[in-house]
Amino acid sequence: MKILVINAGSSSLKYQLLDPEKGTLLAKGLCERIGLDGPVLKHSPAGKDKVVIEKEMKDHQQAIALVLEALTDKEHGVIASMDEIDAVGHRVVNCGSFYAESVLIDEKVKKAIRDCYPLSPLHNPANMTGIEACEKAMPGKPMVAVFDTAFHQTMPEKAYIYGLPYKYYEKYQVRRYGAHGTSHRFVSQKAADFLGKDPKDLRLVTLHLGNGSSLAAVRGGVCVDTSMGFTPLSGPLMGTRCGDIDPAIVPFLMSQEGLDAKGIDRVMNKESGVFGVSGVSSDFRDLAEAASQGNHRAQLALDLFAYQVKKIMGSYIFAMGGCDAIIFTAGIGENDDLTRAAICEGLEDLGIKMDLGKNKGLRGQDADVSAPDSKVRILILPTNEELMIARDTMAIVNKL
Ligand code: AMP
């Protein structure tokens, strides 16, 4: 089976063509600057050279047409015709409380995605543009929506209701939704496989640490809490997002700096996090380099990140009454041994003991880096959200 996975942004479109049964990638690519000057499609067929195609892309419709052309091209294509694509899986950021799992796209699903525009004003409309463009380009092809928020729908009320007047939950659906759900689900399933255990018997804390970072408490295979909230701004500080702060800082800074709602939103989303604290970079490689040269604020940003992740992880272990394994994933989790070690440092009395030798230098591969006498297993499991989307799409299409 061949599944095309689409992740549409407002001016970009990422795609992968995968065989979910074998878990193999046939091609991947990215359309950038859709609707802008200088649009470009970077297409990487597996086992062949990457090609860069510069052609007009005035909208997502044209971008999809170019992607299909690239996939079926005689030289750099990987399939003979579009008919070889069995179905399309779309990443959709937010489905509010409508769905707890992936669904076949029909008019009702599209209405739910539209109804959630206020919850995700940047991403959901862009995801919808991708869906509509694919529907036009491939009429009749089954399409599946895989939602970032769906995995977190199993959270109990006490984990998703905020201490605000309840009427705002009823009126505007202000509650915790979480994000990165596809990744948390992928690595929690992978952890069960890796440990040779039934997911029902496991209490896991999954740490998706990348440019955006979130943690999830996963008990019995379902999410019981997560650190991103109504928006992806909460949790530990991130690349450029501030994470959890005293909410009263918001009106204070607005009045001191003369900022409107958009202005403070920009400060908290784009100018904060490890970038805002360090003044150096949002990239942990740059921070480690600057810190090694004695830059105090770069070191402070790294310390803040590890400390905040550790505290949230601790709260989830308490919430679940214990933990069998901690899973590191995404850019930082998979690659940054120093940050992984800093997060686990000093937890030996709680049964969390990392083998620092095993952890050192480990990048992007499945591994158990816990010490033999650690009660809690510490795993590194690279995430693969596209493969999860392709698997969900296959499962739904197989039932049609
Ligand atoms: P992601 O959002 O999952 O793609 O993660 C991207 C982030 O991972 C980058 O901004 C870096 O901070 C971090 N990262 C990627 N590779 C490394 C590495 N080798 N060492 C440390 N951090 C890394």
User: pLDDT by residue (tens digit) across 337-359?
Assistant: 999 999 999 999 999 999 999 99
Ligand 1 centroid from CA 336, angstroms: 7
Task: From 166, 171, 177, 201, select the one nearest 322 (Cα to Cα).
Answer: 201
Query: Average pLDDT in the 42-56 region?
Result: 96
- The residue contributing the CA closest to ligand 1 atom 10 is 283
- The residue contributing the CA closest to ligand 1 atom 4 is 331
Among 148, 187, 208, 211, residue to substitute to test ligand 1 (most atoms within 8 Å of Cβ)? 211
- The residue contributing the CA closest to ligand 1 atom 18 is 335
- Report pLDDT digits (tens) over 279-320: 999 999 999 999 999 999 999 999 999 999 999 999 999 999
Ligand 1 centroid from CA 331, angstroms: 4
How big is the chain, counted in residues? Answer: 400
Task: Report yes or no: 286 and 211 within 8 Å, Cβ to Cβ.
Answer: no
- Report pLDDT digits (tens) over 222-243: 999 999 999 999 999 999 999 9
Ligand 1 centroid from CA 295, angstroms: 20
Element (H, E) at 350: none
Query: Average pLDDT in the 266-291 region?
Result: 97
What are 214's two structure tokens?
A: 């979130």
The pLDDT score that the predictor gives to residue 264 is: 98
Q: Is the dihedral of CA 314, 318, 324, 327 positive or negative?
A: negative
Query: Average pLDDT in the 191-211 region?
Result: 98
- Report pLDDT digits (tens) over 30-41: 999 999 999 999
Query: Average pLDDT in the 371-398 region?
Result: 98
Q: Taking 90 as the threshold, does the pLDDT of residue 9 lie above it?
A: yes
| Catalytic one of 83, 148, 246, 303 | 148
Backbone dihedral angles phi then psi of residue 158, each to the nearest 5 degrees: -65, -20
Q: Taking 90 as the threshold, does the pLDDT of residue 28 lie above it?
A: yes
Task: Report yes or no: 218 and 150 within 8 Å, Cβ to Cβ.
Answer: no
Q: Is 225 a catalytic residue?
A: no
- Report pLDDT digits (tens) over 90-135: 999 999 999 999 999 999 999 999 999 999 998 999 999 999 999 9
Ligand 1 centroid from CA 182, angstroms: 19
- Report pLDDT digits (tens) over 137-196: 999 999 999 999 999 999 999 999 999 999 999 999 999 999 999 999 999 999 999 999
The pLDDT score that the predictor gives to residue 122 is: 87
What's the one-letter identity of residue 45? P
Ligand 1 neighbours, Cβ below 6 Å, are 210-211, 239, 283-285, 330-332, 335-336, 363
